[in-house]
């Protein structure tokens, strides 16, 4: 999972301002070449730029990127070290990201952690450094450190879909139901129709019904976890709601899985307590969002939207077309939503 997500974030097709500097002109030429998929020619061009001026760290950065894409990680690290020594601005963080991921792939996890940590001392506001550091810890199964760092990143950029996704996966590994569910909802609000969203939706659907099992026509078992946690009441309500779905009551006849999902989600959001731990990360970043969404009657629109990657795509599109004003009101509200950040 890590490297797929990382590559999605490495859209560094950066060209430099027009310059009479011949070496920088070559750098721009090389960028154009790899944008066309010709990494070998780009590497030659960047090497020629360094022959003209060995201090053109921009060429070293691009070489580091090219070698990473070509999976020549030792060379990627070599050129990123030059950038970390001579580079400027955002390229320091970018070079640290490439170096850190290269080290991680090579199994040098502790060195990767040191690379990100050192870079964060210079730029504490780079959410991608926190994101990649979190992924390194996640792959080491150090979920406490992984969660700490991804939360730091989300406090800087709460619109980064992959950060919500990795936070959900961390808590999925820890068996924390609500702390898995809420970030998954948020991820799907930001990315609802991709291979990642299809997997995320599957996990969300599973977590929403986890702990409830129909043994026979008369017996439904409910297993509760995290009893006494701040979300235990909401999780119990969710389980009871799903147990009701499994019963043979007249009111359930003719309902689809999506209908049940909408009902359960609406009830679940209604009992998330926005008054508890109101200054906590979970309150400000998730509970307030979804209780407000419920109070504005947007749950149905949200549920249809996040099911875009499901096998019911035709039904989803039809419902949105038939309820466009309602759906657009929901979309406009979510796009304008701002979290109150207590860093």
CA dist 282 and 80 (Å) reads: 36
Residue 196 has pLDDT above 80, yes or no: yes
Q: pLDDT tens across 285-306, in order?
A: 999 999 999 999 999 999 999 9
Average pLDDT over residues 52-60: 92
pTM of the prediction? 0.87
Q: Which residues of 116-125 are buried (b: 16+ CB within 10 A; e: fewer)?
A: beebbeeeee
Residue position matching structure tokens 């792959």: 139
For 150, 197, 281, 295, the CA distances from 332, given in Å and listed in that order, are 27, 21, 24, 16
- Are the CB atoms for 139 and 104 separated by under 8 Å? yes
Q: pLDDT tens across 303-315, in order?
A: 999 999 998 889 9
CA dist 281 and 295 (Å) reads: 21
- Alpha helices (H) along the chain: 2-9, 22-35, 39-52, 57-69, 73-86, 90-105, 109-122, 127-139, 143-156, 161-173, 177-190, 195-209, 232-246, 257-271, 281-282, 288-295, 299-306, 313-322, 324-336
Q: Could you tell me which CATH number the domain at 2-130 has?
A: 1.25.40.10
**Nearest-10 crossing angle of helices 2-9, 127-139:** 170
Whole-number pLDDT of residue 311: 87
Q: By C-alpha distance, which of 314, 313, 205 is closest to 262? A: 205
Residue 13 has pLDDT above 60, yes or no: no
Rounded to a whole number of angstroms, the distance between the first and last alpha carbons of the chain is 28
- Are the CB atoms for 153 and 160 separated by under 8 Å? yes
The burial of 25, by beta-carbon neighbours within 10 Å (0-12 exposed, 13-18 middle, 19 or more buried), is given as middle
The full set of domain ranges for the chain reads: 2-130, 214-336
Residue 332 has pLDDT above 60, yes or no: yes
Whole-number pLDDT of residue 215: 62
Whole-number pLDDT of residue 266: 96
Q: By C-alpha distance, which of 189, 181, 194 is closest to 313? A: 194
User: What is the SS3 assignment for 137?
Assistant: helix
Residue position matching structure tokens 């019963």: 247
Token couple for 134: 């979190």
Q: What angle do CA 316, 311, 194 make, to 5 degrees?
A: 85
CA dist 99 and 80 (Å) reads: 6
Q: List, in sequence order, every residue forming a beta bridge with 213; answer none if it has no partner.
A: 221
Average pLDDT over residues 81-87: 92
**Nearest-10 crossing angle of helices 127-139, 109-122:** 160
Average pLDDT over residues 42-48: 96
Tell me the HSE value of 243 on the side-chain side, using a 13 A CA sphere: 17
Q: pLDDT tens across 153-191, in order?
A: 999 999 999 999 999 999 999 999 999 999 999 999 999
Which residues neighbour 187 within 8 Å (Cβ) at sequence distance 6 or greater?
161, 162, 164, 165, 168, 197, 200
Whole-number pLDDT of residue 204: 97
Which of 226-235, 254-263, 329-338 tops mean pLDDT?
A: 329-338
């Amino acid at each position: 999972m890590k490297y797929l997500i990382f590559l999605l974030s490495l859209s560094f097709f950066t060209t430099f301002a027009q310059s009479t500097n011949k070496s920088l002109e070559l750098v721009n030429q090389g960028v154009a070449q790899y944008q066309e998929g010709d990494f070998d020619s780009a590497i030659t061009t960047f090497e020629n730029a360094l022959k003209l001026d060995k201090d053109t760290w921009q060429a070293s950065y691009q070489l580091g990127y090219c070698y990473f894409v070509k999976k020549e990680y030792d060379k990627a690290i070599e050129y990123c070290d030059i950038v970390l020594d001579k580079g400027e601005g955002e390229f320091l963080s970018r070079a640290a990201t490439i170096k850190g991921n290269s080290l991680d792939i090579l199994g040098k996890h502790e060195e990767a952690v040191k690379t990100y940590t050192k870079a964060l001392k210079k730029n504490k506001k780079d959410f991608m450094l926190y994101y990649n550091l979190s992924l390194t810890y996640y792959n080491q199964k150090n979920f406490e450190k992984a969660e700490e760092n991804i939360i730091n990143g989300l406090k800087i950029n709460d619109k980064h879909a992959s950060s919500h996704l990795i936070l959900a996966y961390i808590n999925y590994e820890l068996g924390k139901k609500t702390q898995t569910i809420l970030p998954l909802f948020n991820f799907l609000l930001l990315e609802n129709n991709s291979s990642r969203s299809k997997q995320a939706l599957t996990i969300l659907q599973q977590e929403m019904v986890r702990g409830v099992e129909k043994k026979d026509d008369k017996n439904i078992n409910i297993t509760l976890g995290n009893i006494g946690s701040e979300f235990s009441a909401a999780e119990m309500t969710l389980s009871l709601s799903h147990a009701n779905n499994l019963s043979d009551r007249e009111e359930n006849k003719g309902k689809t899985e999506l209908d049940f999902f909408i009902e359960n989600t609406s009830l679940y959001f209604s009992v998330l307590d926005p008054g508890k731990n109101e200054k906590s990360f979970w309150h400000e970043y998730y509970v307030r969002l979804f209780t407000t969404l419920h109070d504005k009657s947007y749950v149905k629109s949200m549920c249809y939207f996040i099911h875009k990657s499901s096998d019911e795509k035709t039904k989803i599109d039809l419902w949105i077309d038939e309820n466009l004003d309602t759906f657009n009101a929901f979309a406009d509200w979510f796009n304008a939503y701002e979290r109150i950040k207590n860093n």
